[in-house]
Structure 1
Amino acid sequence: KISQIRFEDKYIAIQELHEKENLSIILLCEIAGISRAAYYKWLKRVPTDRELLNEEIMKEMKTLQEKVDGTFGYRQMTLHMNRKFEEDINHKRIYRLMGIANIRSVIRVKKKQSYKPSTPQHAAENVLNREFTAEKPNEKWVTDVTELKYGTKKAYLSAIRDLYDGSIVSYVLGHSNNNNLVFKTLDKATALLNGERPLIHSDRGFQYTSKKFKRKIDKAKMKQSMSRVGRCIDNGPMESFWGTLKCEKYYRRKFTTFEELSLAIDEYIQFYNHERYQKRLNGLSPMEYRAKAA
């Protein structure tokens, strides 16, 4: 509401609402608790450099928010605006300007996940032990499978994430949650290795406890780690990525075909790896951060 924002921003809000919504200036001034004379005096002033920059920031934020389907909050928006304008713009300023421009992020939908107990053929210790940082690429990987829907059918997305930069190393979308889905994901990831031997961490799903998966791990001379029973947080970074993907892409629309869903996943992971800036990566995207290590 106009009456709840800072006084210096009320004029901007009145101007925006009048131009975009065709609302009465008399009414807007009354709501804001300012005189029409004060508003018109402000309207005729020469804008300061800061005000002009604010206008440009709001335009860029609106364009970006459309691009990402309305999913960015002020933290992501701050990272992107700092990169765009090559300035150190305070997050409080971005938050305030988002309010003026009526830019809001969508609310993440939390869903409970159920796990089917399995009798493992092979089990590994929790070697990762929630140490979710890595010193170099391909040192620590985490992996998991999540369920998605299209129409009345189900699809399953398997992915491997590198803890060094948070990038998705490999992923496979399939019709069935089976061993082949996970094995293909691992094969795609290990094909990219150049002598590295990552630790790979997963939950205790039947695919990861199978003898064939263990043989693939041994062939690549990698070490295996598994979450403790019923401890989802042991694989926290992978759970976090599923939440981000679903919030920013999957929950935003209904998918009717497998092809539509597959294209959306391809687009999002490309965006996530190359264009989604992260504060913990010094404002870089995962691939930009990874390139610096190389």
Structure 2
Amino acid sequence: MSASWVPHDIRDAVIDFTQLWAKKSDIALTRFISWLGIAPSKYYNWQSRYGKVNEHNGLIPRDFWLEECEKQAIISFHNQYQLDGYRRLTFMMLDRNIVAVSPSSVSRVLSAAGLLQRWNRKTSKKGTGFVQPLKPHEHWHIDVSYVNLCGTFYYLCTLLDGYSRYIVHWELRKTMTEKDIEIIMQRAREKFPDAKPRIISDNGPQFIAKDFKAYIRLTGMSHVRTSPYYPQSNGKLERYHKTIKTECIRPKVALSLEEARTQIAEYIRYYNEERLHSAIGYIAPKDKLEGRDRQIFKERDQKLEAARAERKQKRLDMRQRLDCHQILTTAANINSLTQQDNFSISN
């Protein structure tokens, strides 16, 4: 057994043994310590804790530790939104004033409850070789994805703002020619007439057509195509298409084109205005687009600080009440003993 930690009963037995035989044999105590292979500082540390249980390395409660009701609130909220990660849950609870904690605290609570699943991930190469936009409408990503409705494939075309992840415009069509792409982009430009973004697309036939190049030139925009056979180059929009299919199109199973358009329109409203996006600090894309992100981050920090201060004050008040109770109990005991002594003297 390592000498760095031993049970308190064995530790006390060593103290008793060395002191007993040091007296009987008149051998110096330091000699016994060296024979046992224990450092003198450790031996005298054991001697100072003689008869005490090993609690010197135990956890010390902190003022800002979560309360049990807050832990239960985190677990209950996770059970309502099991498909969302712990970071998104953190800021959802913060914005709804359910509980103000940090993502690491939520992770610890869910891990302790066995509700947090972990998996190995490859090292991310996100952002390498690509200059990210610094303001809205610098980059618009455009792509076309297939949607299967009752055995018929339709085309879902989406324009996404690369800075805020806001869905600028989308359409679900039966065909997707170069003319359709121009119509979709023109409708997007009508929503933001002052925008002159760089269009980022893949090498689809609609985007390499001469008419599309002429349209880009006439509107004053620029166009960049991603590397062939490398969809990660347009990963922001590829990830969005995966999200909308996973959370909207496949679970709801639309039975007609109009029903699918209604469902997608409702989901995109939720995606733009309510859903917390992990890539932009767990805020809604519309808030990021309209520049409310810093105010939201500031309010979240203030809520966290206020919650920590409130928990600290609660524990301080509890300690003060316990101290007062102990003082009152001691005073009552002294008063009782005094009365007993006076009674004895009088008798």
Report the TM-score when normalising by structure 1: 0.65
Q: Which secondary structure state, in structure 2, belongs to the residue aligned with residue 215 of structure 1? A: helix
For residue 265 of structure 2, what is the aligned residue in structure 1? 266
For residue 229 of structure 2, what is the aligned residue in structure 1? 230
For residue 298 of structure 2, what is the aligned residue in structure 1? none
Structure 1 range deviating more: 77-86 or 160-169: 77-86
Partner Cα distance (1:178, 1:279) in 2 = 33
Q: Which secondary structure state, in structure 2, belongs to the residue aligned with residue 292 of structure 1? A: coil
For residue 81 of structure 1, what is the aligned residue in structure 2? 93
Partner Cα distance (2:169, 2:240) in 1 = 13
Q: Which secondary structure state, in structure 2, belongs to the residue aligned with residue 191 of structure 1? A: helix
Unaligned stretches of 5+ residues in structure 2: 1-64, 118-126, 294-347
Deviation at 1:163, TM superposition (A): 0.9
CA contact (8 A) 1:147 1:157 kept: yes
Q: 2:68 aligns with which of 41, 44, 51?
A: 51
Superposed, 1:90-129 pairs within 5 Å as 90-91=103-104, 93-94=106-107, 96-97=109-110, 100=113
Q: What's the % identity of the aligned pairs?
A: 23
Q: Which secondary structure state, in structure 2, belongs to the residue aligned with residue 144 of structure 1? A: strand
Instruction: Evaluate the alpha carbon distance shift between residue 179 and residue 130 of structure 1 in structure 2; reply closer, same or farther with a 3 A threshold.
Output: farther
For residue 71 of structure 1, what is the aligned residue in structure 2? 83
Partner Cα distance (2:204, 2:137) in 1 = 23
Instruction: Evaluate the alpha carbon distance shift between residue 99 and residue 207 of structure 1 in structure 2; reply closer, same or farther with a 3 A threshold.
Output: farther
Partner Cα distance (2:134, 2:188) in 1 = 19
For residue 34 of structure 1, what is the aligned residue in structure 2? none
Instruction: Evaluate the alpha carbon distance shift between residue 82 and residue 293 of structure 1 in structure 2; reply closer, same or farther with a 3 A threshold.
Output: closer
Given the alignment of the two structures, is residue 252 of structure 1 paired with residue 251 of structure 2, yes or no?
A: yes
Superposed, 1:151-170 pairs within 5 Å as 151-170=150-169
Q: Which secondary structure state, in structure 1, belongs to the residue aligned with residue 244 of structure 2? A: helix
Q: Which secondary structure state, in structure 1, belongs to the residue aligned with residue 96 of structure 2? A: helix
Deviation at 1:91, TM superposition (A): 4.2
CA contact (8 A) 1:82 1:89 kept: no
Partner Cα distance (1:142, 1:97) in 2 = 36
CA contact (8 A) 2:141 2:234 kept: yes
Instruction: Evaluate the alpha carbon distance shift between residue 129 and residue 99 of structure 1 in structure 2; reply closer, same or farther with a 3 A threshold.
Output: closer
Partner Cα distance (1:71, 1:129) in 2 = 29
CA contact (8 A) 2:154 2:175 kept: yes
Partner Cα distance (2:66, 2:141) in 1 = 47
Partner Cα distance (2:104, 2:265) in 1 = 30
Partner Cα distance (2:257, 2:114) in 1 = 36
**In structure 1, what residue type is equivalent to 2:70?**
L
Q: Which secondary structure state, in structure 2, belongs to the residue aligned with residue 229 of structure 1? A: coil
CA contact (8 A) 2:147 2:155 kept: yes
Superposed, 1:124-273 pairs within 5 Å as 131=130, 133-273=132-272
CA contact (8 A) 2:86 2:103 kept: no
Deviation at 1:95, TM superposition (A): 6.8
CA contact (8 A) 1:171 1:185 kept: yes
Runs of 4+ in 1 over 6 A off after TM superposition: 101-104
Greater helix fraction, Structure 1 or Structure 2: 2
Report the TM-score when normalising by structure 2: 0.56
Partner Cα distance (1:97, 1:168) in 2 = 32
